[in-house]
């Protein structure tokens, strides 16, 4: 594929730097800080000045947003926006390396902003401590030159894609789940037949599917994928290298191999078919019916039989079941009823869609219970 020429990089705002540096020029301290870029063949001062003039917004300050934000701040991007409405939890620290133990309970945007300002004080950091939706996406994204989407729900991804397409903004997108990751650059205004958007590849918005909270994720894989997203963002902003426009980069941490899949825009007026291999999070859950399918009732107390565990989102939703949070099972905080149950006795784990229950099944098998099955109660 031909190299994207520098003039097709997104137009940046006038390069006005803080301090006494002339417009469009880097201050001496910033030139010293970014000296390794200035020495880089094919990059140099002009590309660095484009970075300094760029405004980038990152959706999500989690497993992917952490390396993206750190590397873009270190690389010299002038303005970084952070969109996240969540707070830091202990379970985030396995992979969300922007945050520390001391940040548990803090807003992720506040924690991330502190780290970025310490890493690169010249960068302007703007915290958007709210959830991005279809209603506010255009208003938030409209103030930036490029969007980096590290979100983990279809609702957010499609809201980002639609707003970015309406604004003509490029989107560097990535996902990681389990051992697998994917990265691409979507831009409705891209030249050369590469004007491809997220829905062109993955079709209409599906129901929410698997997530890191249900099937897990290898923490360094987040770093690999997030760092690749940062590389793509730098290339698009500066017009250097060959961005992944029209390509889907697929990563397998089991083998440390990358594959590249060529993409094509969907025919006008037709629905897109998902690319192969499917997106890691595209394992769609079954559509919920109006009434739950009742699981089998537990055996009478004191008799050998099935222990029914409910790891769903609503305590008490399954009559007769022992409710336990999936997060507590992962932490080894097992309910007394389970501890009293024989390791070879049958255990049935249920939840609304069968996603959390599959994760619980794996956890219980690792704890030594041998006869564990999982099931969805909405079918």
Residues labelled as active-site residues: 212
DSSP letters spanning 42-56: TTHHHHHHHHHT-EE
The CA–CA distances, whole Å, from 311 to 304, 315, 329, 352 equal 22, 8, 9, 9
- Which residues are paired to 109 by β-bridges? none
Report d(CA 236, CA 245) in Å as an integer: 9
- What's the helix, strand, coil split of the chain in %, to 5? 35, 20, 50
CA nearest 201: which of 157, 277, 155, 266?
Answer: 266
Q: What is the dihedral of CA 318, 321, 323, 328, to 10 degrees?
A: -130
- Only one residue has tokens 């389970």, namely 338
CA nearest 238: which of 47, 77, 36, 3?
Answer: 47
- Type and span of the H or E element at 146: strand 146-149
Report d(CA 248, CA 32) in Å as an integer: 35
Determine the Cα angle at 93 with ends 89 and 95, to 5°: 125
Report d(CA 311, CA 78) in Å as an integer: 45
CA nearest 48: which of 70, 60, 32?
Answer: 32
Report d(CA 110, CA 127) in Å as an integer: 7
Report d(CA 133, CA 139) in Å as an integer: 10
Q: Can you read off the two tokens belonging to residue 104?
A: 């548990």
What residues contact residue 315 under an 8 Å CB cut-off, 6+ apart? 323
The CA–CA distances, whole Å, from 146 to 17, 71, 168 equal 19, 15, 9
């Amino acid at each position: 594929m031909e190299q994207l020429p520098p003039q097709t990089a997104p137009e940046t705002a006038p390069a006005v730097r803080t301090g006494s540096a002339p417009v469009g020029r880097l201050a001496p301290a910033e030139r010293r800080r970014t000296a390794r870029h200035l020495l880089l063949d094919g990059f140099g001062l002009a590309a660095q000045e484009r970075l300094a003039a760029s405004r980038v917004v990152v959706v999500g300050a989690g497993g992917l947003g952490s390396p993206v934000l750190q590397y873009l701040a270190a690389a010299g991007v002038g303005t970084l926006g952070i969109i996240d409405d969540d707070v830091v939890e202990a379970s985030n620290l396995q992979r969300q390396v922007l945050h520390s133990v001391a940040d548990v309970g803090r807003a992720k945007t506040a924690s991330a902003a502190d780290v970025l300002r310490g890493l690169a004080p010249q960068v302007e950091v703007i915290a958007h401590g709210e959830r991005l939706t279809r209603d506010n996406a255009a208003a938030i994204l409209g103030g930036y030159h490029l969007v980096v989407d590290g979100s983990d729900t279809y609702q957010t991804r499609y809201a980002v894609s639609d707003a970015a397409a309406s604004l003509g903004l490029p989107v560097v997108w990535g996902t990681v789940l389990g051992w697998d990751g994917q990265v691409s650059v979507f831009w409705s205004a891209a030249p050369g037949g590469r004007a491809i958007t997220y829905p062109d590849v993955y079709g209409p918005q599906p129901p929410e599917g698997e997530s890191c909270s249900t099937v897990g994720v290898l923490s360094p894989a987040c770093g690999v994928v997030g760092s690749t997203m940062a590389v793509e963002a730098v290339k698009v902003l500066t017009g250097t290298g060959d961005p992944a426009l029209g390509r889907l980069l697929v990563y397998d941490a089991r083998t440390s191999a990358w594959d590249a899949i060529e993409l094509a825009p969907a025919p006008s007026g037709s629905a897109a078919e998902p690319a192969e291999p499917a997106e890691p999070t595209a394992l769609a859950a079954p559509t919920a019916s109006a009434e739950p399918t009742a699981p089998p009732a537990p055996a009478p107390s004191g008799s050998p039989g099935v222990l029914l565990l409910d790891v769903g989102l609503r305590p008490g939703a399954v009559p007769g079941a022992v409710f336990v949070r999936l997060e507590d099972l992962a932490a080894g905080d097992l309910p007394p009823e389970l501890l009293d149950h024989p390791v070879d006795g049958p255990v049935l784990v249920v939840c609304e869609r069968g996603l959390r229950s599959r994760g619980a099944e794996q956890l219980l098998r690792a704890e030594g219970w041998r006869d564990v099955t999982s099931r969805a109660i909405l079918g």
